[in-house]
Each structure stands twice: as C-alpha cells, then as structure tokens.
A and B are shown apart, each in its own frame.
Chain A
Amino acid sequence: MFKFILKRVIEAIPTLLVLITVSFFLMRFAPGSPFSSERELPPQVMQNINAKYGLDKPVFEQYTTYLTNVLQGDLGPSFKYQDFTVNELVVAALPVSAKIGAFAFIFALVCGVAIGTIAALKQNTWLDYGLMSTSMLGIVMPSFVLAPVLIYIFSIGLGWFPAGGWFDGSLKYMVLPVLGMAMMYVATFARITRGSMIETLNSNFIRTARAKGLSFSYIVLRHALKPAMLPVVSYMGPAFVGIITGSVVIETIFGLPGIGKLFVNAAFNRDYSLVMGITILIGLLFIVFNAIVDILLAYVDPKIRY
C-alpha cells in the first residue's frame, strides 16, 4: 500500500511541472498586461512596476524564480489586488468553495446511490421509469439553467432561501448553491448505480446467497452494494472535477466569494499570478483526489493489485 501511494506521488511530479510550465508560458506570451489601462503610464513608472514584480528579467529567469517559489509554497504577490499575496487571497476564498463543494459531492453521492439502488430493485416498474427519466432531466439540465430556476422558485417565488450572497455561510445560504451544483451528479450517480446494481443482482453469487435463504435486504446491503459500487467509485474522479469546474458558474450566479469567482475575476483582470496560482492549486487537487479514488478502487475491487 505504501509503495502504491509513493508511486502515485512520484508520478504526480511531472504532471505538476507540465501544469506550472504551461500556465506560466501561457501567461507570459498572452497579449496585454495587467498594468495596461486606459491611461498610459509614464515609462519610468512602468519600469518601476515591472522591476517590482520581476517582469524586467529574462523570461527563463522569471520561470526558474517562479518555479522555486511555488515549490516552497509561495505563489507570489497578486498583480491586481495590491498588498495581497496570492496565498492570502486563496486562503480567504478556499473555505467557501470547499464547504459548498464537499456538501454537493456528498449529497450527490449519497442521494445518487440511494436513488439508483431503489430504481434497480424496482426495475421496470413505474417507479424505475419515473426516477430514471427525472435523472435524465437532471443530466441535461446544466447548473447554469438549474440555478436560476431554483432561485426563481425558492427565493423569488416562495422566499424560503436568499437568492445569493454568503454572509456568514450559514445553512440557508448554502442550500441553493449546493442543490444547483449537485443535481447533475445525483442524476449521473443514480444512472451508474442502477446499471451496475442490476448487473450485480443478476450474478451467480447473489443467486447463491438467495438460495441460502438470506433476507433480501441483507443480500443487497451486504453482498451486492460493494461490487456494485465499482463504476460509482471510478466516476467519483470526473464528478469531483466537474463540481470544481462548476463552482465557477455557481459562485458567479450566487455571488459567493469562493475560488471560482476569484478565478473568473482574476482572468478578466489579467491578474497573472492569481490565475496561475489557482490553476496550479486546482491541478494539485485533481491529482490528489484521483489518487484517493485509485486507492479506494483498489480497496473495493479485489482484482486490482498494487
């Protein structure tokens, strides 16, 4: 196990290097600069600004400096929000995104698996058809359609939840963003679970268990659920990536001060260091999460040896 984890860590190094390099050179060769504004600055001022952020040095030197700083956990100063470092901005925004993302992920997983299992157990009944066509609606209804609809119904119409904002991050500010983010994955998890559950329930070892006279609920929970979870676990990686990417839209719609919003603003402002910092952070999250999924997969699937 330890060797497996170590291997994953070593494998992640080139990935991160590629990511840092690509984003660095993308920023440097992009036309325009974070300091270009309506009013032309005097050349002397420009020179000073460039000197302050190290932009007057040769590109390769800038690259090595950035790389060594990043490896030490320092993402540099923000170009646009003066007096703030990228680290400070990210640390302020991360808890908001993490909270919503984690809730959405867990909600999607639990609800999706439950719905999928129920549909599989009631295969080809009206309940199954109803659940599955609803879940198809969930799949084709992207978060940026669903979220405004949720706001329209629950904030404007019924007035149950606020239409946006974060304030203190209490539950009522979280319900709609979490729902808007999670529904698509609830639906996908449900469909995947249903498919693999039906396949598992038709397999021989389940027949044996039934022949032994075990109760049906015991068979489902004790024997069928674990092998049926295999495709679900492997979809956890893409779902996680989707939820992080989706946070960009959800945070924009609900005006939440999270990473996604920060990223969009940074991109619009051409805040190079902030954009790079967030990209690297998210890449790192992807790598870590995929590694966790692989370990889980190895745990669930006895055929995988590491």
Chain B
Amino acid sequence: MFTKKQNVEAVEAFSSNLEIQGRSLWQDARIRFMRNKAAMVSLVILAAIVLAVIFVPMMAEFAYDDTDWYALHEGPSATHLFGTDSLGRDLFVRTFIGGRISMMVGVLGAVVAVIIGTVYGATSGFIGGKVDRIMMRVLEILYAIPFMFLVIVLVTFFGRNIVLIFVAIGAIAWLDMARIVRGQTLSLRSKEFIEAAHVSGVSKWNIIRRHIIPNVLGIVAVYSTLLVPSMILTESFLSFLGLGVQEPMTSWGALLQEGAQSMEVAIWQLGFPAAFMVITLFCFNYIGDGLRDALDPKDR
C-alpha cells in the first residue's frame, strides 16, 4: 500500500519539507549583520554621506573654488548653508568636495594595503619554512621604521601629489594585514581540501589564488572596513600639516586646518567638516565591528 505512487510522492514531499534549509557562511553572516542595529544604521548614514559626497557638488549652486567677495567669513545662511571661508568660498560645497577626496584616498589607500598585505601574507604563510621566516623578518624590520616620518619626507621632497600620497599611505598600512592573513593561511594550510589540491597536482600559485585567498576574504573584509577610516585619518593628518591635497582642491584634513586657524571668529569652519569626518569614521568603525561579529565563526 505504501508503494502506491501518490503515497510515495506524499512521503517525498514531506521529507523534502523536513530538510533543513542549508545556509552558507555568507548568508549566515548577512543575517547576523542585519540584526546589528548600530551597524545597519551606520550603513544607511554612510550610504547617504557617500551619495551626498558624489552628487551634492555636481548639483550645488557654487563651485568649490568660486569666491564670493561679498561674503567673507560669513556664518551659515540660506545661500551658504554652512557659511563661507576666509576667501568667501561656499563651505557646504567644499565640505562635500573635501569628503570626496578624503573618501577616495581612504578607499584607494585601503585597496592598495589590502592587495599587498593579502598577497604577501598568503604567500608567506603558505610557502612556510625558510621563506616564511625571511618574509616575517622583513615585516618586523618594516614595523620598526617610522613610516609617517618617511611619508612626510617623501611628500615634501617629491611634491604634493595625491597619487603619491595614497600609494605611500597604502604602503604603510599593509603590514598588519599581512600578519593577519599569514596567521589565517597557516591554519588553512593543514586543512584537507588544500592537501587534496596538492595531491591532484595543482600548482602552488593556483592553490593560493583559488583556495587560500577566497577563504581569508572574510577576515580581509573586516579589516578593510576598519582600514578605510584609518586611511582617512592618515590623509587628514597629512593634509592638516599642509602636506596633503593642495589649494584650491581640499579634503577634510585641509578644511580642518583652515577651520582650526580661524575658529576664534568662525567656529563653523571647523565645526561642519569636523562633524562630517567624525560621523563618517563612526560609521566605518561600527560597520567594521558589525562585520567582525557577523563573520567571526567563534561566535556561533
């Protein structure tokens, strides 16, 4: 009686319902991330800031280098929402243009750091042995070098060029990334699927590319979201010293420097860029924390 076709179908339908929906690591992580309120709010705010930074300067009434001689050092008003600076330039537009530069440098610096760090760390951890020891020694030597000072030297001597700045910043920041990726790779290396790849004759480089790098991507994602704010900070640091972007172009660091000089008479020149920068950094940090909690397998 159970061999009846409809019964079999019914049983099959029932059993397929019983099957637990499989969830991948990434789906799981996404669900946990969405539950994290601080991270989600940060994500929304950050998205808004990114859109504003891209589109506001395009649509605004003034250009970032337009000077209004009748409105020097003017406070916030209907025409100039954030007021004007000492040359009568509209601070609303400049804040967003500055944000555009800061974020661009932040993201590009982080990308440079992530690429160098991941490749270096994965190679070192995967090859192991003598090569690993030498590569880690090199890293230790680089750790002891006061890079910020070298960057300052580099920028003053070779010209203040934005490409050079983020290459230099990215080149500093890959050290931590390389260490983290190496640690992960070392533990991955002894896993069965890597051994299987070895046995089936996959070349070392291909194992790194196809197996190691995709598997460390989670931790890389977390650290790159935390890298972006630190890159933004580094760029602002240089710009604040007058070594970053040059007039009439601007960035948050450069705006902060101008604002700090004229804060006695015009506090808004410090306040608006500072607020935007701090909010952006807040968001990046909360998103990074959220991602870490979401992707950390220990937390299951």
Question: Known contacts being A15-B140, A140-B278, is A264 close to B229, with CB within 8 Å?
Answer: no
Say whether A30 contacts B158, CB under 8 Å.
yes
In the complex, residue of chain B having the shortest beta-carbon distance to the beta carbon of A139: B285
Q: Which residues of B contact A201 (CB under 8 A)?
A: none
Complex interface bits, A130-151 against B, C-beta within 8 A gives 1, otherwise 0: 0000001101111011011101
Give the CA-CA distance A287 to B270 in the complex, in Å.
Answer: 37
* Chain B interface mostly: helix
Give the CA-CA distance A271 to B227 in the complex, in Å.
Answer: 33
B253 contacts which of A15, A144, A263, A283 (Cβ < 8 Å)? A144
Residues of B144-170 whose CB lies within 8 A of A = 144-146, 148-150, 152-154, 156-158
A249 within 8 A of B: yes
Say whether B146 contacts A148, CB under 8 Å.
no
Q: How many of chain A's residues touch chain B, expressed as a range?
A: 35 or more
Say whether A22 contacts B267, CB under 8 Å.
no
B247 within 8 A of A: no
Say whether B152 contacts A248, CB under 8 Å.
yes
B236 contacts which of A142, A245, A264, A282 (Cβ < 8 Å)? A142
In the complex, residue of chain B having the shortest beta-carbon distance to the beta carbon of A11: B140
B145 contacts which of A18, A149, A248, A275 (Cβ < 8 Å)? A18
B281 within 8 A of A: yes
Q: Which residues of B contact A31 (CB under 8 A)?
A: 157-158
Give the CA-CA distance A152 to B241 in the complex, in Å.
Answer: 19
Complex interface bits, A1-21 against B, C-beta within 8 A gives 1, otherwise 0: 000000000011011001100
Say whether B144 contacts A290, CB under 8 Å.
yes
Say whether A23 contacts B263, CB under 8 Å.
no
Complex interface bits, B125-152 against A, C-beta within 8 A gives 1, otherwise 0: 0000000000000001101111011101
Say whether B158 contacts A136, CB under 8 Å.
no
Say whether B150 contacts A22, CB under 8 Å.
yes
Question: Known contacts being A139-B285, A148-B263, A283-B146, is A249 close to B240, with CB within 8 Å?
Answer: yes
A91 within 8 A of B: no
Q: Which residues of B contact A283 (CB under 8 A)?
A: 144-146
Say whether B278 contacts A141, CB under 8 Å.
yes
Q: Which residues of B contact A137 (CB under 8 A)?
A: 278, 282
Say whether A26 contacts B153, CB under 8 Å.
yes
Q: Which residues of A contact B145 (CB under 8 A)?
A: 15, 18-19, 22, 283, 286
Say whether A245 contacts B148, CB under 8 Å.
yes
Q: Which residues of A contact B278 (CB under 8 A)?
A: 137, 140-141, 145
* Chain A interface mostly: helix
Give the CA-CA distance A278 to B146 in the complex, in Å.
Answer: 10
A156 within 8 A of B: yes
Q: Which residues of A contact B144 (CB under 8 A)?
A: 12, 15, 19, 283, 286-287, 290
Say whether A282 contacts B146, CB under 8 Å.
yes
Q: Which residues of A contact B274 (CB under 8 A)?
A: 145, 149
Give the CA-CA distance A151 to B260 in the complex, in Å.
Answer: 9
Q: Which residues of B contact A145 (CB under 8 A)?
A: 256, 274, 277-278
- Scoring B145, B146, B270 by chain A CB atoms within 10 A of each residue's CB, the highest score goes to B146
- Scoring A140, A141, A152, A270 by chain B CB atoms within 10 A of each residue's CB, the highest score goes to A140
Say whether A15 contacts B141, CB under 8 Å.
yes
Residues of A228-273 whose CB lies within 8 A of B = 241, 244-245, 248-249, 252-253, 263-264, 267-268, 270
Complex interface bits, B255-271 against A, C-beta within 8 A gives 1, otherwise 0: 01101100110010010
CB distance from B293 to the nearest CB of A (A): 12
Q: Which residues of A contact B149 (CB under 8 A)?
A: 245, 248, 263, 278-279, 282
Q: Which residues of B contact A287 (CB under 8 A)?
A: 144
Say whether A248 contacts B229, CB under 8 Å.
no
Q: Which residues of B contact A30 (CB under 8 A)?
A: 153, 157-158
A32 within 8 A of B: yes
In the complex, residue of chain B having the shortest beta-carbon distance to the beta carbon of A286: B144
Q: Which residues of B contact A275 (CB under 8 A)?
A: 153
- Scoring B241, B253, B277 by chain A CB atoms within 10 A of each residue's CB, the highest score goes to B241
Say whether A136 contacts B285, CB under 8 Å.
yes
Question: Known contacts being A30-B158, A140-B229, A140-B281, is A248 close to B153, with CB within 8 Å?
Answer: no
B233 within 8 A of A: yes
Say whether A140 contacts B241, CB under 8 Å.
no
B152 contacts which of A151, A264, A290 (Cβ < 8 Å)? A264
Q: Which residues of A contact B236 (CB under 8 A)?
A: 142, 144
Question: Known contacts being A14-B141, A144-B256, A263-B149, is A270 close to B157, with CB within 8 Å?
Answer: yes
B237 within 8 A of A: yes
Say whether A23 contacts B153, CB under 8 Å.
yes
Say whether B241 contacts A26, CB under 8 Å.
no
Say whether A279 contacts B150, CB under 8 Å.
yes
Give the CA-CA distance A205 to B65 in the complex, in Å.
Answer: 64
Residues of A131-187 whose CB lies within 8 A of B = 136-137, 139-142, 144-145, 147-149, 151-152, 156
Say whether A249 contacts B260, CB under 8 Å.
no
In the complex, residue of chain A having the shortest beta-carbon distance to the beta carbon of B148: A245
In the complex, residue of chain B having the shortest beta-carbon distance to the beta carbon of A287: B144
CB distance from B288 to the nearest CB of A (A): 11
Question: Known contacts being A248-B152, A263-B152, A279-B146, is A144 close to B260, with CB within 8 Å?
Answer: yes
In the complex, residue of chain B having the shortest beta-carbon distance to the beta carbon of A267: B156
Give the CA-CA distance A27 to B286 in the complex, in Å.
Answer: 41
> Which residues in A have some Cβ–Cβ distance to B below 8 Å?
11-12, 14-15, 18-19, 22-23, 26-27, 30-32, 136-137, 139-142, 144-145, 147-149, 151-152, 156, 241, 244-245, 248-249, 252-253, 263-264, 267-268, 270, 275, 278-279, 282-283, 286-287, 290
Q: Can you give 7 contacting A-B residue pairs, CB < 8 Å? A: A22-B145, A149-B270, A151-B263, A245-B149, A263-B152, A264-B152, A279-B153
